[in-house]
Amino acid sequence: MEAPQYVAARVKSALAEDERISELGILVDIRGEQLFLRGQVADARRRALIADVAEEAAPGLTVRNEITVLDVRDPCEEEKL
């Protein structure tokens, strides 16, 4: 079985290199047969794509997607000043 730190490094590399997402800001943690993803993204579609890439890079592990989606809104009038 491959060491957890190598699996995590492979997943991080896949997230950074995948054309669909090119994501650098996600934390990857392996515990037993589970792969945890943590961080923040702008939308649910991106969150799902990150999980897909992680599953492709680490087949056989259960992906626990704990990434949160930020509530990004346009600035209100007061914030624009």
Asked whether residue 79 is domain-assigned, the answer is no
- Residue 79 pLDDT greater than 90, yes or no: no
In angstroms, the CA 25 to CA 31 distance is 20
How many structural domains comprise the chain? 1
Asked whether residue 66 is domain-assigned, the answer is yes
In angstroms, the CA 17 to CA 34 distance is 22
Asked whether residue 52 is domain-assigned, the answer is yes
Asked whether residue 80 is domain-assigned, the answer is no
Q: What is the pLDDT of residues 59-72, one digit of tens each?
A: 999 999 999 999 86
- Stated pTM of the model: 0.85
Q: Is 38 exposed, middle or buried (0-12, 13-18, 19+ CB in 10 A)?
A: middle
Tokens of 77: 């009038």
Q: What is the pLDDT of residues 37-53, one digit of tens each?
A: 999 999 999 999 999 99
Q: Specify the pLDDT at position 2.
A: 85
Asked whether residue 24 is domain-assigned, the answer is yes
The one-character DSSP state at 61 is S
Domain of 35, in residue numbers: 4-72
